[in-house]
Structures are given as C-alpha cells and as structure tokens.
Structure 1
C-alpha cells in the first residue's frame, strides 16, 4: 500500500474531524473547519453506509460486498443521514451543493429514504430539484416507501413532484407502483387524490393492482399482508381494471391464485375479474391454484377453489382430474368441492396412484366415499339438481344463488359448501 505524505494525512484527519462534527451535529465546529479554508464544503467523504442510505447504483452493476459497506457523500448528505439539522443549516448557508450525488443520491433522495420530513422541507425551501433521478433511476418520491414518509411525499407533491413519473430503469415504476409494492395505503390514497394513473403500466406491463396482489403474500414469514389487501381495495374502488394483463398475460387474479389468497381473490372476482382468463401458456387462475395448494401453509385452498368455481371458472378436464388429487390429496375439502362441480366423474387408474397411502388412511372415510360415488352412476337427484341450477346461472352463480327463494342450507349446498363426505 502506498505510503501517504504528511499533507495527505493531514487532509484525511481533517475530513474525519469534519465527518465526526457533522454526525454529532456540532454546527460550531463544522463552521470553524469551513472558515479555516482548508476543506471545501462539497468535499467527498467516505461514510459507513451498510443500509445503502446514501448509495444508489444502476441495475445490473456488480460490486463486491465490502464496497457496499461504505458510500461517498458530501457533508450535507451526512447531516441528513444523521438528522443533524443545525449542521445542515450551516452547510446550506455556506453554499453546499444540494443537487449533487457522489454515490448516486442527492440529499433530497436521502431525506425521503430516512423519512425525515423536516429535511425535505428544508431542502425544498432551498430549491432542491424535485423530480431529479438518482443513479438507479428513481425520483425522491420513489424513495417514499413507508407510513413515516407520507409527510415527505405530501411536501414533494405540493412543490410539483410528478406522481406519474416512471423510474428510469428496468422497472419503469410509477410512485403508485412503489406504494403498492410496499403496501402503504396512505401513500396510495395520496397519489390517487393527486391524479396518479390507477392503471399505469411498468416495464413488465404490470399495473399497481397486479403489483399489490403479488406482494400481498410474504413468502418468508408465510403470512398475508393486510395492508396490501387494503391497497388492492383502494385501487379497485378507484376503478382499477382487474382484467388487464401483463406481458405474460397474467392478471391480478392469476397472482392472487398463485398466492392462494382467498381474501384477495374474492375482492377481485366481485370486482369483475375474469376467472377464465388465460396466461401466455394457456393457464387460467385455477391452474395456478393447483400448483401451490400444498405449498401455502397459512392458506385455505378450499375457499379459493369454491370462489373460482362459483364465479364460472373452467373446470379441470375430467381425464386430468388425477392432477387435482396430486395437488390436493391432503386437502379433502378442496377435492370435494372440485368433484361436486361435475355432474359425474369417472375415475381412472391414475386416481389412486395420486393419493399416498398414509394420506388415504388419514382421510379414509372421505376417499372411500369418493371412489364409491364416482364408480356408481348416476349421482343423487339432489346433486344433479345442483348441477343444473349452477349451469343455468353460469357466471351469475355466486350472486344469483343468494336471490333464490331457498333455505340458506340449500344455498350453501348449491355453492359447493363442503360437508366432509361425498354422496
């Protein structure tokens, strides 16, 4: 390593002294260092930044991990990061540059990143650029990603931030997409009330509704996020189109079905989502549901199947029904709902092979009834009557059954409410 000269060592020490004074919000010492004239106010410092609050990189760039532990920053960036308001006032009065980004972000980006509305107000009052892009292609508004940053977003919008500006990167997200992805209903309401396009498309042709639907399931903690559900409700109430398709032709309902999210599926279906929409591979939402029924421990798959079938979803092709058993063999209520959507089903030799022996024993009464009912023809007159009513109502089945002059138990029967056994 090259040995530093005494002058270089002195500069490093002065920079370190300057940095520590800013972090401690020691405005007097900061002013003293600047007035000595030995350090430029916009000098670039090396700052520990493991959370990448100061840094922003273009997508596709690769950096070794040790490089991501530190960032370059000017004193004004550091004052924002450490909430050193008095020091920031001194730096601004002494002429600090407010729109430079030594490591990809301006001080205004940083203020939004840390949800500091006082700094946002200060920077905007001194003419920080509002719609400036970071190195990764995001405006300050894109960095408002939490409830704590709502006040920051309000100030930006009042000063002219563009709520429909897309990020200048591979995502091309509007701030509404970002709010939907992070699940912040307060930001969604704010953006919509200031003219955000509810059906704006990102690079993948996804709407904010699709984004919220996908991120409503936390795969790490295996829970469903209520805030994302609320975001979807808000978007639908503002006329978001549930049937728009992204580049692979998936709709929001495909994404909700993939998450096995019955709450969101019901919301979308009642808003007019097409239960038969097919993606680029010819898969409808029910096929997505089949793929994940045994992979979502917090889900209630039978409700998802019931919802889709009561909203006129296309049934699984009968010769392929063994795939239902492969996916749902340990969820007999789901199998029951699927079986009862047909007038009759004829078992194939693949049916029994699709059910593991230990699972068959666990649900022996149900599976004995399944094979007995499907092997003997015809099914009961009551069941055939149910099928006839469902066929007549078609896509109106879910809402139409409620209006029939029938006992509530009969209505539940028509709507495929599972009973635990087939007859």
Structure 2
C-alpha cells in the first residue's frame, strides 16, 4: 500500500468517534510507531493533531516512537504541543515518569523551564505527580529553575505539598527550593508552602500531613510567620491541636500576629471556644527569652488582648529568661495604657518604677505614683528603688522631717500647757480631757497635712527637674534602652 493511500485511509479513520489513536498492535506498536518507522512526516503530523497522542509509549522491545524517530520527525515531535494545555514533549515525559525520555530531550537541548498554557514547567508536573527521579534529573542534570510560579502563583514545591508527596518535598527542600516562595501582586493569594501544607491537611492523612509540616519548618530559613493576602499566618490556618503543637516547636512562632480582621490565632481560638488550643497557646513560652503570651501582648501594646490572656490563668508577674515581667516590657516599649491596665489588675510595679527612675521617665513615674499611690519620698526603709533617687531630695526630705518633728513637739507642749490651764479653770476632769483630745487630733491632722504638702512639693519639684533635664548621669543606660512613645499612648496625669 502506497504512503499516499495510507495517508488517505488515516484521514478517514482518525476522526471516527471513540477511536484510540494510541491503540497498540500485536507487537506493542502504536500507529505513530509505524509512521515514524517509515519516516512519513505528513502521516506523523496528521497523528499529532490528535490531542491525546503519546509518542512515549514503548513497544514490546521497549522502544518509543520518539526513540525511533529520525532528525526531521524527531524535531516535529519535540516542537509539537501536546494536550489541551499545550505541553511540550518534556512536560509529557516528566508527567509520565519517563526518565530516559527526559534525559534524551535534555541532551537534545530542549528548554527545561518551558511553560505551558497554565505556566507549568516540567518540574511542576513531576513534583505534583511525586516523580522523585524526574525531579532530581530536571534539577541536577537540566539545571531547572526550582522556583518558577505558575498562573496560581504556585511553585513546584506547592504542588508536592498539596498532593502530599513527602519525599519530593524533602528532595526539593534539600536541593534548594525556596519553601517561603509565594506569589506577589494584586491578585496573588501569597500562600507559602507551609500555608498550603496546613490548609490542605485532612484527617485521613493526618500523620502524613504532620510529617510534611515538620519537614517544612525544619528548613532553616522557613518562615513560620509569613502572611497571606489576608495577612493570615500558618498558625491562623491551623485547626488541629497536633498541627499547632508542631508549629509551636519553632521558637520564633508568633501567636499574636493580627490578620485583616484585626484578629490573632489566639482570638480565633477563643471565639471558637477551642479551649485545648487556647490553653496550649497561653501556656507556651515563645522565643529565645521564653516570653509568655502576656509578654508578647505587652510588647505589642495589645491592650484588648490582656484581659483574655489573664483569664486563661497566665501569671501576671511571670518573668522571662532575663527576669522581666510583662508590665516591665510594656513600659520599656512605651505602651503606657497597657501599664495602666496591668497595674489595675494587680501587677507588681517595683521593677517598672526602678526603670522609670533610671531613664528619667517623668511620665511613667507620674503614672505609677497615681495608679499605685507610690510615695516617692516615704520612709519605707526596704523600698528597692529608694537608693536611685537623687541625694539632694533625700536631704530636703530630712530637713522637712526635722521641721515636722519640731512642729509636733511644739504642738505637744502647747497641748500639755492647755490641759493644765483647763484643769485649773474647769474642775471637771472629763471636760478637760475632751478638750485635750480634740486639741491632739487637730495637731495630728495638721502634722499629716503639712507632711503631705511637703512631699507633694518635693515630688513636683523632682518631676519638673526630670522633665527639663537634658543630660543625665544615666545617659549611658538611656542609649541602651528602647523607650518608644506616641501621642496615642500618652496619658494625661
């Protein structure tokens, strides 16, 4: 039969409904095998018009149409776009796990990063299908770009994660794929591979899903606090306690990042009444300094979260590794509304008062003296920050104390004289005693008022000096202290 007649017969048959263009004969050969063997380019071109044509099917001898093709037909097979998405032959080979064909095509110089209509590269398809060998060949031998994004802003690692291909995820991360890569731009969802791993978790494959999450967070530069298009972190996505426990193994995890709704993972757990999750978030220690959840909220100035955190049994005066309390952290970062709230909830202000004096922070001292009624110049011998106050104020306070004692002595002498005179005038002893008691009460009241007046005057004097002082003997300390404040947090005392 002539090639021309065969071509006409193929034209008649090829469009028959239900025809399998890849049907194999007794020797395992497909129609494309025969067309290639007789080197009939027009017949090959006709067969290639069928979208499901596959030039990689092997016959009984293990040979494909591709491996048998001579130069002109080989180039036609390579240049053709396959399937509805316009895949290259390398896409097809990668997807079908044809390692020999992949190597053959790479040796022929095909573009290893060619993209189809959905912007998939061959690596996308191999990773999504879980073909470890193909992934390794494409990267090691073909130098494939590991971080190309498709139309969904997904890289190859996203597909491996989404399809639960753990070994491919490990391979890609070991070969340097960027586990943090996420699409950017107006319509991008900005999902990292960790977002995808958690959002695609399901109960039936829970152990496998956890292994993938562990694999990703163990990559040294993996971002556990990356935010998507709604500013949600992977911890926002986590709904299962086991997943959260795995995420919390990372010291740098932050449970108080707010999304576009102004809510943290802790907030969502509270709203959903997920007491198990609330408990583990509240009891966990975060960062190298082993901060409590209260420390984190105080650092960020999240006044609205403090009550909720304290309601979970968090110790209000718990300290971090450096011995600092939550109220100290809030004061250091200038969040005075949080300081005020914690004072009202009973927080110990000793360290904060010490910090306020060291840094000459008049505003903080005013807040503490008002909210906790601290007597700056009182007589408490064991007051821990007593020694930090300026010596000249102590001297002034001593002088004031002497004056008060002198006034009290004068009053006592006066009362005694008055009592004697009254007894001489009034034989009624009871009346005399009553007059004496009234006089004594008046004397004590005058003494207390005088003392209070002097202390307030000294406090006012110190505040004025603190506020006007430009240089301090503690300037070296101030340079190391991060004190931030803004108008929104300033309190009118």
Range class of TM-score, shorter chain: 0.5 to 0.7
Deviations 1:110-146 (A, max 9, x none): 2222333343233333333210001111001011235
Residue 228 (structure 1) aligned to one of 209, 222, 231: 209
- 1:261 aligns with 240
- 1:30 aligns with 33
Q: Is the 8 A contact 2:36 2:69 kept in 1?
A: no
Q: Is the 8 A contact 1:192 1:198 kept in 2?
A: yes
Within 2, Cα distance between the matches of 1:242 and 1:281? Answer: 20
* 1:266-281 pair list within 5 angstroms: 266-271=245-250, 272-281=252-261
Matched, 1:88 2:66: yes
For structure 1, which runs of at least 5 residues remain unmatched after alignment? Answer: 1-5, 48-71, 294-300, 322-337, 343-386, 398-423
- 1:410 aligns with none
**Cα deviation, residue 280, structure 1:** 0.5
Q: Would the alpha carbon gap of residues 267 and 317 (structure 1) be closer, same or farther in structure 2, given more than 3 Å must change? A: same
Within 1, Cα distance between the matches of 2:39 and 2:111? Answer: 30
**Cα deviation, residue 179, structure 1:** 2.1
- 2:402 aligns with none
Which structure has the bigger radius of gyration? 2
- 1:363 aligns with none
**Cα deviation, residue 240, structure 1:** 0.8
Deviations 1:221-249 (A, max 9, x none): x4453333222222222221211212211
Q: Is the 8 A contact 1:41 1:91 kept in 2?
A: no
Q: Is the 8 A contact 1:76 1:98 kept in 2?
A: no
Larger RCO of the pair (alpha carbons < 8 Å, separation 6+): 1
- 2:397 aligns with none
Q: Is the 8 A contact 1:21 1:27 kept in 2?
A: yes
SS in 1 for 2:228: coil
**Cα deviation, residue 313, structure 1:** 4.8
For structure 2, which runs of at least 5 residues remain unmatched after alignment? Answer: 1-5, 285-291, 298-302, 324-493
What TM-score do the two structures reach when normalised by structure 1? 0.57
- 1:179 aligns with 160
**Cα deviation, residue 36, structure 1:** 7.6
Within 2, Cα distance between the matches of 1:24 and 1:285? Answer: 62
Matched, 1:192 2:192: no
- 2:234 aligns with 252
Matched, 1:140 2:102: no
Q: Would the alpha carbon gap of residues 251 and 42 (structure 1) be closer, same or farther in structure 2, given more than 3 Å must change? A: same
* 1:4-403 pair list within 5 angstroms: 10-13=10-13, 19-21=22-24, 25-26=28-29, 30-31=33-34, 35=38, 37=40, 39-44=42-47, 72-76=51-55, 79=57, 85-91=63-69, 94-95=73-74, 96-102=76-82, 103=84, 104-145=86-127, 148-158=130-140, 159-167=142-150, 169=151, 171-202=152-183, 203-215=188-200, 217-218=201-202, 222-237=203-218, 238-256=220-238, 260-271=239-250, 272-290=252-270, 301-311=274-284, 312-313=292-293, 341-342=312-313, 387-388=314-315, 391-393=317-319
Within 1, Cα distance between the matches of 2:35 and 2:47? Answer: 18
**Cα deviation, residue 396, structure 1:** 10
Q: Would the alpha carbon gap of residues 394 and 36 (structure 1) be closer, same or farther in structure 2, given more than 3 Å must change? A: closer
**Cα deviation, residue 29, structure 1:** 8.0
**Cα deviation, residue 340, structure 1:** 6.4
Q: Would the alpha carbon gap of residues 340 and 108 (structure 1) be closer, same or farther in structure 2, given more than 3 Å must change? A: same
Within 2, Cα distance between the matches of 1:44 and 1:395? Answer: 72
What TM-score do the two structures reach when normalised by structure 2? 0.50
**Cα deviation, residue 289, structure 1:** 3.2
SS in 1 for 2:318: helix
Within 2, Cα distance between the matches of 1:121 and 1:37? Answer: 25
Deviations 1:5-57 (A, max 9, x none): x996651326868632489731698336762848432335576xxxxxxxxxx
Instruction: Please tell me the root mean square deviation across aligned C-alpha atoms, in Å.
Output: 4.0
Within 2, Cα distance between the matches of 1:274 and 1:395? Answer: 17
Within 2, Cα distance between the matches of 1:126 and 1:176? Answer: 27
Q: Would the alpha carbon gap of residues 91 and 110 (structure 1) be closer, same or farther in structure 2, given more than 3 Å must change? A: same
Within 1, Cα distance between the matches of 2:276 and 2:87? Answer: 46
**Cα deviation, residue 189, structure 1:** 2.5
Q: Would the alpha carbon gap of residues 186 and 287 (structure 1) be closer, same or farther in structure 2, given more than 3 Å must change? A: same
**Cα deviation, residue 303, structure 1:** 3.3
